[in-house]
Structure 1
Amino acid sequence: MADTPRAEPIVPVDADTKDTTAVNTTSNSSTKSGVDIDGKATQGIVTATDDLTKQERAIETGSEIEKHGSAASDRDDDNDSDNDSTKRDETKFNTEKSILGSMSLQRMILTMTALGLAVFISSLDQTIVSGSLPTIAKQFDALGSVSWITTSFLLASTAMQPLYGRLSDIFGRIETLVAGLVVFLAGSAVCGASTSMGMLIGGRVVQGLGASSLMALSMVIISDISIERERGKITSVFAAIWAASSVLGPVFGGVFTQSKGGWPWVFYFSLPVGGAAGLFIILFLRLPRPRGSLVEKLKRVDFIGMVVLVGGIVMLLLALSFGGDTHPWDSPMVICLLVFSVITVAIFVIIEWKIPSEPIMPLRLFKNGNVGISLMQQLFIGATMFSPIFYVPIFFSVVMNSSPISAGLHLLPLMLPVPVFSIMTGFTVYKTGRYRELQWIGGTIMTAGIGLFRLLDENTTTGKSIGVLIPAGLGMGLTLQPMQLTLQTAIEGRDMATGTTLFVAIRSLGGSIGLAILQTVYTNTLSSSLANIISQFPEYAELILASANNQSLIYEAGVPAALKSAIILAYVKSLHYVFYGTIPFAAMVLILSLFIKHIPLRTVMIKTQGNSNVENNMD
């Protein structure tokens, strides 16, 4: 497949001149001067061509609002048939040096630490509660509703993630990120202080609303301050943090639950970490504030689109949560939720197309085919990655009678290769400028690696499990960063935040869909197998049924060896079907990568809504 050319940015500006000049705009041309990131003077002149739209001129000088009369609305841009999505003009800074590269080493480290802590606590809270759920359920005597501790967080975070990109364009990156962090910390405090299951679930909703901003906007800010060609090196570090927190979550949860402070510290732990992250962000991360008063900014928010989109996502996630669990998949409740979620999303598309001047999700995002491919890949990679994170610990709990902490540590052979090979991928992309081929290699290894999970059986040793799990993690590490670059090379700078937050949200949604499908497979297969075992050991029917929620029961004294062996085989069989079901998800990531058109990575800074008019001294 041939590479897709990218139009060169507007005439480059000489970055070596040492005088500072102001931006001068006339009715016929635009004369612009640049300010480098250290605040030292640089000067250059760009004469804009007459065919630049008013919106393009506004973006180039750092404002989303028009500089010459009226602005061209985002909706008008969506209907502009002359806009070629792969051959577009991109404004760029006067220097090829990125904002991040222009920082002093100390400020760079502090900035990365702040964003890294934000990513860490948001990822950690997705899994940290798993080790404490039995204890919480026992304390509140609410085993039937304990699953909502996880579900409520997932609902809130997934529904809000797509919105934060546009909100940060309007209100500012740092302001929106800090606001999300405050909401997250407030939710954490409520969870830790909970005196009832309802209060805890409510706190998890608040936590999720805030947590969704942390991962998404951290990725957006990295896009604001880095060049595409170097970005893989930076985001690979955050992939390492995400992988580490995913593994450490259940471990931390188990440790805190067994500590003197008990399970509340599962949530209180986020307070000092999040507080440090917020302090570092405020003190050391400098990006410009968008112009306009609060009232003017509120008028720009697409409230109708926000409400409709959140409603559609929540209905879909509720259907996935109820289906096969509290309600059959063919129940009126589940069917209605699924149907209305589809209708709501269709209404959302029409709204974004016709109504707001600044849509929460401009349809021009999808003019380039690579965007759709990348988002579909995210859907399937989410399903692929969430499956082993959830089900591999169950395997070790059953076969090796591992504690929650030990079962979580058994994920290390799967998760450790992710950051290692993500970092290698980042440097490879930086050196070669190629990202499509890495997806082909990574997708192939990942699919084959998931297939190897079939080798996990009742006789598996620790050494064998390590060898089985490593290839899938290796393939994931090779695939994650190139997928993000596929998206970001295909969108304009002004849409970077919206595209990136949507990218992150789709992965979470894919994980939810994948787990719902695989949970149905797992539950049906296990129920059938356990029913057969009950017919053979009717006197142990109660224990057999209870083992579905507490695998450690089969290792209690007095359980016949034949019964224990039969239950273990039932679990292994059910988990094999889950692993078989994961293979198509991984294969789709590979198949979709074959249709990606290569768009050269930018080697210069482009203006986004978050970095325009950067004049701060970063030293």
Structure 2
Amino acid sequence: MSAIVISTFADEHQHDPDQPQVDRKVEAEHVEQSSVTANQDNLAYADEEEEPELHARTYLAIAALFVLNFVQVFALTGPPAILTYIGGDLDGSSIQNWVPNALSLVQAVGGPVISFASDTFQARKTLLIGTCTVSFIGAAIAPGSSNIYRVIVAQILIGFGFAAVPLAYAIPSEILPRRWRPIAQSLMNVAAAAGAITAPLVGGALSRSSAHNGWRNFYWVQMSLWGVTVIGVIIGYRPPKRHTKLDNLTLVQKLGRLDLPGMGLLTAGLTLLLTGLSLGGNPWAWSDVRVVSTLVVGIVTLVAFGIFEWKGTKTGILHHELFASRTFPVCVSLIFVEGVLLFSIIIFYPALTNALFETDPLLGGLRTIPFWVCAGGATVIYGLWSSKRRTIRSPLMTGFAIMTAGLIGLATIQPDQSTRAIVFDGLAGLGFGSLLILIVAGVQLSTPHHLIATATAVVTSSRAIAASTFTAIYAAALTSRTAVKLPSYVASAAQLGGLPPSSVEPFVEALLNNDAATLFSIPGVTPAIVTSGVAALKQALADSFRIVYIIAIPFGVVAIILCWFLEDMSKAMTYRVDAPVEELHAKREQGNA
């Protein structure tokens, strides 16, 4: 007998008591009628004990989503690797940080909105094609830029495709058995690791060949990848039509089912908060009224969003069903910590490498590979461990412990320890291989299927907030340290080398500005003193970068403790498939046939 059953969307969309009374009776009749259609037509594989037989249609969908995950991370990690070339070529170094920040901002703000709409209307494919097409257009706009503002606008458009990250995580999980969700996420993480490895190398190689055209060619490459992704989603991801209780409603009534007040508050709050964090320190001081007011208004708006989602509605973006299990809020906390740890690596490890070991953009990009190679390899092992043992707690705890150990190692790096830096970077990658995949899997296993994309989006937004907030904190701490240590260390080295006191200040200024012509014209300066000054400069930088990892390490310890509070997921990790893209039957049944 076929293992296909009806998916109960009719029971999953609760009525919002805050909806106006006008036309409620008529709308309820439409909803009831549509519920029958949903119950008759939606497919799900319900045999929890027998493994289903998958076919080409499912594997093609997974392949299309693999490419999507690759391109999304390619778009995320490429621009930071060539940021100095973009800023220098377009005379926009003072605001070049807005190039990567623009993409992250759109993802943090747009992710929950897109995902909530996807869950409400079951329009995953349409939204994927639409957002990826916008990214294709954005990547095509960037190469012709004559000023950095056009690149920022292009990055905003590219950000729409990156905002679909929750769908890229949710779809593989819903089209495969629930027990395989850690494996599904590990496959997507392999694609992400491949994108993270490839993008800096491609960008570095192109920029190395031409400072003017290299970064522009990188965007042409990215444009072609987005085009392939759109085609792949159209051809490869072909889900059957899924009906909801809202099918017979008018467009206005359907829009009324969206959490428009919540979306507005969340969008405004996150935009202001993340903008304030980006403005602080550059171009304005953190104490500047423009920065403070932006941050305060953003935080107040987010508090208002939280109160509205708590008291104003039960079926909004923070749907109350999400909190029926304690695993969901624990996972949201864990992904916040994951963002704190991860961005200490992907933002500041390349900067540390450039400061202490390697200035060539291609070679610098090569030094970031161990993290992603180790993460990509380990993620498959963690996924298999989790699926086979039907647990997320133990492998997740192990991952946090290993990554924290890697950060402890990076906090000890000295200027002459180039190899150790690579080893500890790889060790952190070994730990990271478990974090994202198992946190996402935990969220998706602990929440109802009709909220799977929304729940995933809440997680990715938590991560984006952590990344933006702690990138700003790390940068402020690093700037504070370097402002004190650089002149102090260099001055002490110069004095110990015998430089006259009157020459110390100009020597420090010339060395810090890398002004070789002025440096050797200063009275008393010798090659030996310059060598000592450069060594002191590197030591000051090493001691300054240490603060980034000293800040991050305690969060890793907290995450290890939080993992103990995750619930047992074994009963949820069955062979049920919530939204298959094809009609599935049990393997044993196929064999008997």
TM-score normalised to the size of structure 2?
0.82
**One-letter code of the match for 2:181?**
R
Aligned match of 1:503: 459
- Report the Cα offset of residue 237 of structure 1: 1.4
Match of 2:167 among 206, 217, 242: 217
CA distance in 1 between counterparts of 2:312 and 2:375 reads: 42
Match of 2:416 among 446, 459, 464: 459
Aligned match of 1:198: 149
- Report the Cα offset of residue 70 of structure 1: 7.2
CA distance in 1 between counterparts of 2:275 and 2:538 reads: 32
The 3 A distance-change label for structure 1 pair 112 and 98 is farther
Matched, 1:156 2:106: yes
8 Å contact 1:98–1:225 — kept in the other structure?
A: no
8 Å contact 2:44–2:580 — kept in the other structure?
A: no
Once the two structures are superposed, residues 102-124 of structure 1 have per-residue CA deviations (whole angstroms, 9 ceiling, x without a partner) of 5424x444322211121112111
The 3 A distance-change label for structure 1 pair 561 and 483 is same
- Unpaired runs of 5+ residues, structure 2, are 16-24, 33-42, 495-503, 516-525, 586-593
CA distance in 2 between counterparts of 1:480 and 1:189 reads: 31
- Report the Cα offset of residue 383 of structure 1: 1.2
Q: When the two structures are aligned, how many residues end up with a matched partner?
A: 535
Indicate the SS of the match to 1:264: helix
**Range with bigger deviation, 344-353 or 538-547:** 538-547
**One-letter code of the match for 1:379?**
F
CA distance in 1 between counterparts of 2:49 and 2:447 reads: 21
Match of 1:605 among 549, 565, 576: 576
Aligned match of 1:278: 230
**One-letter code of the match for 2:234?**
I
**One-letter code of the match for 1:444?**
A
Match of 1:578 among 548, 558, 561: 548
CA distance in 1 between counterparts of 2:12 and 2:107 reads: 33
The 3 A distance-change label for structure 1 pair 71 and 357 is farther
Match of 2:445 among 489, 494, 499: 489
Match of 2:379 among 422, 433, 457: 422
Match of 1:244 among 181, 185, 194: 194
The 3 A distance-change label for structure 1 pair 244 and 586 is farther
The 3 A distance-change label for structure 1 pair 55 and 402 is same
RMSD, aligned CA: 3.2
Aligned match of 1:539: 506
**One-letter code of the match for 2:505?**
P
Q: What aligned pairs does 1:70-469 form with structure 2 within 5 A after superposition?
A: 93-96=45-48, 102-105=53-56, 107-169=57-119, 170=121, 172-213=123-164, 215-259=165-209, 261-287=213-239, 288-290=241-243, 291-292=247-248, 294=251, 296-353=253-310, 359-462=316-419, 464-469=420-425
- Report the Cα offset of residue 280 of structure 1: 1.7
8 Å contact 1:248–1:408 — kept in the other structure?
A: no
8 Å contact 1:440–1:593 — kept in the other structure?
A: yes
Once the two structures are superposed, residues 420-473 of structure 1 have per-residue CA deviations (whole angstroms, 9 ceiling, x without a partner) of 1210111112211121111222222222221111332111143x3343333222
Once the two structures are superposed, residues 205-249 of structure 1 have per-residue CA deviations (whole angstroms, 9 ceiling, x without a partner) of 111133211x22111111220122111112111112212322332
CA distance in 2 between counterparts of 1:295 and 1:53 reads: 21
Match of 2:559 among 557, 581, 589: 589
8 Å contact 2:173–2:184 — kept in the other structure?
A: no
The 3 A distance-change label for structure 1 pair 525 and 98 is farther
**One-letter code of the match for 1:539?**
P
- Unpaired runs of 5+ residues, structure 1, are 1-13, 17-32, 36-45, 47-51, 60-64, 73-90, 549-556
TM-score normalised to the size of structure 1?
0.79
**Range with bigger deviation, 129-138 or 271-280:** 129-138
Matched, 1:568 2:535: no
- Report the Cα offset of residue 294 of structure 1: 5.0
8 Å contact 2:74–2:199 — kept in the other structure?
A: yes
8 Å contact 1:58–1:66 — kept in the other structure?
A: no
The 3 A distance-change label for structure 1 pair 332 and 575 is same
Indicate the SS of the match to 2:45: coil
